[in-house]
Every structure is written in C-alpha cells, then in structure tokens.
Chain A
Amino acid sequence: MKQYIFLMYNFNMKIQTTIKNLNNYKIYLQVERTVHEFMNKNNYLKVDLPVLSPALIPESYLEIFETKFNYLDKKEKLYLTPSPEIFLKRLLVTGVGNCYYLGRAYRNSEPNSDWHSPEFTMLEFYKLGIDYLEMADEVLKLLQYIKIENKKLKISFKKWEKMSVAQAFLKFTKINEEELFDEKLFFNKAKEKGYNIEKTTYEDLFSQILATEIEPKLGISGYPTLLYNYPKQMASLAKLNEDGRTAQRCEFYINGLEIGGFCTELNDYNEQEKRFISESEKRKKNKMIDHTIDKSFIKALKYGLPFCTGAGIGFERLVMIFANVTSIDKLKLINIID
C-alpha cells in the first residue's frame, strides 16, 4: 500500500475523459472490425486469452506487472502478460493451426508517450508453412484490406519499400556492412559519431543509432518501409539465415514509427532453452521483478513447434496512421495520464 501511495505521489496519475476523440475512436473500431474480418476470411482462428498468468517467459528488456490472487489463507502471484506469445505458441504445438489474438498486453516501466502506454492493444498472429518474407506479403494484404476513408492519408499500401538492415545503415549512417557486423568496428564507428559507448552493449548501441539516424527516415516516401535481416545479436526468437550473421526478422515502419514486426520462428528447443536461461540471468542481474518462469513452455516446444512465422503489430500505432493522429491518447475516450 505504501508503495502505491508513493507511486501516486510521484506520477500523480489521473483519469482523463476526452469526448472530442470520438471520431478517432470510431476509426479505431472500424480498423478493429476490418482486421477481424480479414483474419476470418483468411482462416485464422480468433483466440481469446487470459491476461493474468501464473508464470511468464523471461525477457530481459520487458518489465512486467505483478499482482496477487488471495483466497482465505491462500495466495498466488499472478502476472499481467506482456505479450500473448506464451499462450499462442502452446496452441500452435497442439495443432490449432493459423491463429490470432487482438487484445490487451501490459508492460511495466514503459511510461506514457506518443507511442507507448503501459496498457496497450496487440495484434499477434501466426501462419504455418511460411517464412518471414512470405509473411511480408501477408501483412501487406492485411494493410491493403483496411480501407478507411481518409483524404489526408499520404501512404499507399500497394507495395513495400524494402531495405535490408545493412542497406539502411549504409544509406543513412554511412556504416558499411563490415562495420555493422563486427562488434569492435561498430563500437569504433559509434564513438566517432559521438555516441556514448561506455557501459553499453552492441544491442543497445544498435537500437540507439537505428532510432536516431534511420527510423525517422523510414516509411515517409509514400510506402511503408520493410527492414529485414537483423544482425544475429538482435535475433530475438527468429531463425538465423545461412550467412550466419543475420536473422530472419523484419520490422515495418510508417511515418518514422515502427508499427510491427515478424520473424520465422525459431523451433530449435535447445536454442530456446539457452535463451530462457540467459534472459532470466539478465533479469536477475538487472534487479527486475523475479517472476515465476513458465517451464512448461519449453516442454511444449520440445513436443514441437511447427514451421511458422509470427507477426506482432502495435494496434494503436496502426490505427494512428489511419486516424491521422500522432499520439496514442488521441484514439481513446478514456486515458490514464500522468
């Protein structure tokens, strides 16, 4: 209770009602309906999922919300899910087939900003038998399917502006392929550019340079930009390419903002288990919330995740494009503000 009061004091969060956002909210509803329609037409099963879970997948870059279920003298810790992946992958193992979730996800330590809210809506879907580049076609089909009357919309979804991560670095930062994939050369180049390279990692510097020098220039020339083939350090749960240094991962951008991403799912459970351990060690080291680890997730993966690609789209960010607004809060009738 004390901590609660302390937080309230710090942030002074308030409930804000904004009825003038009604038109934007109606666009939100329209996009939502269209997405359900697209998924239904293309034989994806809609899955409703819990948002409270007794265990989670350890992720070192996501902080979570923790709560407690109480009954008489019994107690159990529960966590708000930061992504539906933990449930959807289980279902894929059981042979559910193509499926999707459109609903809430929760991330702690991500304060409100134009593009973030600790409580947000996520569209996550999986398609069997296709890789990440084939998924790019599928995502484009989805974007084309959302037809919202908006004369101010300056973007066409006829095609992708495709760019590999290496091409984007060369074009916008003058960091060449050799420098990008060699950690030592990359650090030197970053230092030359004036970035603070002390106490930092390749992953952090990569994100920082991408966000500063590349992202603002993506998806601004009339088409959405598809960035593909991330360095293997940024692979996350993606399969590696045969070149041994890039992963089958894509992200797409509109108006300089990352809207979503997808990757060919890693189905090697040994690799997954290794990642589980290293991520949970990183969580401990960074003094993040010590949550129960979902060990049966690894068991399920051992049983066998089919060859598939999963896509995740920040739903509010997607609607922002169609509603022509520059921040998430403008889509909502009720916002929790700080």
Chain B
Amino acid sequence: MRINAGNLKKGEFVTFQGAICQVQKADFYSPGKGSALMKARLKNLITAKNVEYAYKSNEQVEVLDVTSVDMQYIYKDQENLYFMDERTFNQSALPISVVGDISRFFKEGEKMFVYMYNDKPLTIRPPMSVRLKIVEADDAAKGDTVSGAKKPVKVETGATVMVPIFVKVGETISINPETGEYTGRV
C-alpha cells in the first residue's frame, strides 16, 4: 500500500535502498523553509543496523503488506532464535540482532507472532507483556519502608529486572518486554 511518508508509523515495514526495514521511530519535522519532513529511524532487517532518513512528508512510500503468523519459540543458539509454525511444523530462524534486546524475555515453548513477507520471516511482533518466574532474588531488607524502593531479580530466562522489594523468589511477574519494566505480580 502506498501512503504519504507523513503518515508513517512505528512498527511498519518499508523498503529502503533495496532492503526491507522496520520503522523504529517516525517524527514530523518542519524546517520552516522547504516542505515538511518525516524523520524516520529505519532498522535494516538483514544487517540489524539503524539508518536515519528524512522523507518529504508528501513523498509516496510503499508500506509492505506483511502477515503475522502464530508460532512457537523453540530455542536459540549464538546467533539465531528459532520458531516453529505449529500447523505446518516449518521452522524459521531470526537473528537475535534483528529481534533485539527483547529476546532476553523469551521462554522456550512460548507462543509468539512472527511477521512474514513473501513467506520469509522478518521479525517478531513484540508481545505486550510476558510472564516469568523469579529464580534469584535477595531478601528485602526488613523495615525498609521507602515507597518505590526496588531491587534487581533474575527471571527464568536469565534476564535481570528491577522489581519492588516485596517481590520474592518463586513468584511469577509480568514484564513489558519492550521497556524491560516490571508491571505486576500474577
């Protein structure tokens, strides 16, 4: 679908200089003289590198028509994360560098959406929230009543998260994987 660059949104996919990219950020910018621009940060989904580009806001941009497929995250190695389509048993690999930091919250066996374009996996659709069990945590200092005090804990995927001091080992918490923030106990 062709749209005005001025309507580009975070998360959309475009082709830029021959490579498929995902929009990481798109901000309106008017230099005052000369037409308005859309300053975009595009992540190249092959090299995982970000590039900054200012589109003219009335420039036509082809937004790729991608589909999201429900898959199971099965495992990872040094470079890739592997997903399986539960209906076809087809496996897809995505470089960790492309998926980004968020992958530290992925638990094997979890279901996730993978964006596909022409039957090729591009990247994942970040879940709104993930639920993970705490495996390591210091006991909260007794008598510490400072509201909002936090401590680091380790969750079952090995990632570290800051949580309120009353949260204990063995509890399951929910996390916003994009920001890495604790959002509550479950």
B28 near A116 with CB under 8 A, answer yes
Residues of B within 8 A of A210 (CB): 31
Task: Scan residues 215-233 of chain A and give those whose CB is less than 8 A from a CB of chain B.
Answer: 216
Against B, the Cβ 8 Å flags (1 = close, 0 = not) of A108-124 are 01111111100000000
Interface size class of A (residues with CB under 8 A): 20 to 34
Please indicate which of the listed interface residues A109, A111, A211, A234 has the most CB atoms of chain B within 10 Å of its own CB. A211
Identify which of A61, A115, A234 contacts B27 (C-beta below 8 A).
A115
Interface size class of B (residues with CB under 8 A): 10 to 19
With contacts A116-B28, A208-B56 taken as known, whether A234 is within 8 angstroms of B39 at the C-beta atoms is no
Residues of A within 8 A of B52 (CB): 212, 216
A157 interfacial by beta-carbon distance below 8 Å: no
A204 near B35 with CB under 8 A, answer yes
Residues of A within 8 A of B56 (CB): 196, 200, 204, 208
Q: From residue B159, how far is it (CB to closest CB) to chain A in Å?
A: 26
B31 near A211 with CB under 8 A, answer yes
B37 interfacial by beta-carbon distance below 8 Å: yes
Residues of A within 8 A of B36 (CB): 61, 109-110
B142 interfacial by beta-carbon distance below 8 Å: no
For A212, give the chain B residue with the smallest CB separation.
B54
Residues of A within 8 A of B30 (CB): 61, 107, 110, 116
A207 near B53 with CB under 8 A, answer no
Task: Scan residues 58-94 of chain A and give those whose CB is less than 8 A from a CB of chain B.
Answer: 61-62
A211 near B35 with CB under 8 A, answer no
A207 near B28 with CB under 8 A, answer no
In the complex, A200→B33 CA distance in Å?
Answer: 14
Identify which of B29, B32, B59 contacts A196 (C-beta below 8 A).
B59
A207 near B35 with CB under 8 A, answer yes
A206 interfacial by beta-carbon distance below 8 Å: yes
B37 near A211 with CB under 8 A, answer yes
B17 interfacial by beta-carbon distance below 8 Å: yes
In the complex, A204→B54 CA distance in Å?
Answer: 11
Against A, the Cβ 8 Å flags (1 = close, 0 = not) of B42-62 are 000000000011111001000
A131 interfacial by beta-carbon distance below 8 Å: no
Q: From residue A237, how far is it (CB to closest CB) to chain B in Å?
A: 10
Against A, the Cβ 8 Å flags (1 = close, 0 = not) of B1-40 are 0000000000000000100000000011111111111010
With contacts A113-B27, A208-B54 taken as known, whether A234 is within 8 angstroms of B37 at the C-beta atoms is no
For B59, give the chain A residue with the smallest CB separation.
A196
For B60, give the chain A residue with the smallest CB separation.
A196
A203 interfacial by beta-carbon distance below 8 Å: yes
Residues of B within 8 A of A196 (CB): 56, 59
Residues of A within 8 A of B37 (CB): 207-208, 211
Identify which of B29, B35, B54, B55 contacts A116 (C-beta below 8 A).
B29
B33 near A234 with CB under 8 A, answer yes
For A261, give the chain B residue with the smallest CB separation.
B32
Cross-chain pairs A/B with CB under 8 angstroms, 27 sampled: A61-B32, A61-B33, A61-B34, A61-B35, A109-B36, A110-B28, A110-B30, A113-B29, A114-B27, A115-B27, A116-B29, A194-B17, A200-B56, A203-B33, A203-B35, A204-B56, A207-B37, A208-B34, A210-B31, A211-B29, A211-B37, A211-B39, A211-B54, A216-B52, A234-B33, A234-B34, A261-B32
Additional A-B contacts beyond A116-B29, A204-B34, A208-B37 (4; CB < 8 A): A114-B27, A207-B37, A208-B54, A212-B52
Q: Which residues of B does A touch, CB under 8 Å?
A: 17, 27-37, 39, 52-56, 59
Q: Which residues of A does B touch, CB under 8 Å?
A: 61-62, 107, 109-116, 194, 196, 200-201, 203-204, 206-208, 210-212, 216, 234, 236, 258, 261
